[in-house]
Amino acid sequence: MTDTPDRIYSTPHGNVADFVFNEDVVRVFPDMIKRSVPGYPTIVENIGVLAARFAQPHTHLYDLGSSLGAVTQALRRHVKTEGCRVVAVDNSTAMVDRCREYLHAQDAMYQELLPVEVVEADILGLVLQPASLIALNFTLQFIAPDRRQGLLESLHRALLPGGALILSEKLRFHDLEEHVLLNDLHLDFKRANGYSELEIAQKRSALENVMRPDSLEDHRERLLAAGFSKVVPWFQCLNFASLIALP
């Protein structure tokens, strides 16, 4: 199956609107995220591998800001723990509808997958069941900065001892030289994946008010303040990283 190519920003938009996860984005999302996020396929697959170590019998595994359910599918492929249940949550109707279709297709392809539920909801208002794994794969960066601490506190309360939060994010860097170098290399990554200067510039402008990355130090401090005992970076490619936070 070949992904529909992302051409959303290939023609001049005049006034570039704020980025939203609507039907147009859903249509091209698998192609867009692979060509925009260095290391994305590696991160998604390995969240499944990591999860298998933390999953505990008869608990929930959450994929928060699930988009089309890539992490949910990886969890269902890798985790065999008895009585686990995967819950994918996203507040975009277009994403949730397509995610449900993809998961039905996965059910038709594999036997003995963990049961899954796709919930259309804002993760800020979610009541979580006792969880052994929670994934926030490139979701926290889209949450209003003043809501991030409270969200992580509620995730910490839901996590069982021995469980883990996996947090993947685009990073900014306090050191200006490091920030500029890794951002320039990220733009080179996009050019190498066929994005034009116009596409890059318009997407950047669309994301400006919507996606606000933090530094690794900010993430570590906030996670520790939310009650997590240990923060372990397990992956970084350019300015994109993934962390394991232990309750």
Ligand X SMILES: Nc1ncnc2c1ncn2[C@@H]1O[C@H](C[S@+](CC[C@H]([NH3+])C(=O)[O-])CC(=O)[O-])[C@@H](O)[C@H]1O
Contact indicator for 83, 57 with CB cutoff of 8 Å: yes
Based on the shown chain and the rule CB under 6 A, indicate whether residue 203 belongs to the binding site for ligand PPY.
yes
Question: Of 21, 54, 62, 228, which one interacts with ligand X (CB under 6 A)?
Answer: 21
> How far is it, in rounded angstroms, from Cα 38 to Cα 172?
15
Question: Of 98, 170, 219, 222, which one interacts with ligand PPY (CB under 6 A)?
Answer: 170
Find where tokens 């390995």 sit.
46
Binding residues among 200-239 for ligand X as defined by CB under 6 A: none
Q: What angle do CA 235, 240, 245 make, to 5 degrees?
A: 50
Find where tokens 């883990």 sit.
164
Chain Cα centroid distance, residue 30: 13
Residues contacting 239, CB < 8 A, separation 6+: 170, 171, 172, 173, 179, 182, 183, 185, 186, 213
Which of the listed partners (ligand X, ligand PPY, none) does 67 bind, with a CB threshold of 5 to 8 Å by partner kind? ligand X
By CB under 6 A, which span of 33-41, 51-59, 114-122, 215-223 interacts with ligand PPY? Answer: 33-41
Based on the shown chain and the rule CB under 6 A, indicate whether residue 70 belongs to the binding site for ligand X.
yes
By CB under 6 A, which span of 62-70, 171-179, 214-222, 227-235 interacts with ligand X? Answer: 62-70
Based on the shown chain and the rule CB under 6 A, indicate whether residue 242 belongs to the binding site for ligand X.
no
**Full 3-state SS string of 117-159:** EEEECCHHHCCCCCEEEEEEECCHHHCCHHHHHHHHHHHHHHE
Helix (H, G, I), strand (E, B) or coil at 198: helix
* 204 annotated as ligand-binding: yes
Residue 183 CB, shortest distance to ligand PPY, in Å, is 10
Based on the shown chain and the rule CB under 6 A, indicate whether residue 98 belongs to the binding site for ligand PPY.
no
Contact indicator for 88, 112 with CB cutoff of 8 Å: no
By CB under 6 A, which span of 106-114, 117-125, 153-161, 172-180 interacts with ligand X? Answer: 117-125
Based on the shown chain and the rule CB under 6 A, indicate whether residue 71 belongs to the binding site for ligand X.
yes
- Positions that interact with ligand PPY (CB under 6 A): 32-33, 36-37, 170, 203, 207, 211
Annotated binding site for S-adenosyl-L-methionine: 40, 65-67, 90-91, 122-123, 137, 204
Annotated binding site: 40, 65-67, 90-91, 122-123, 137, 204
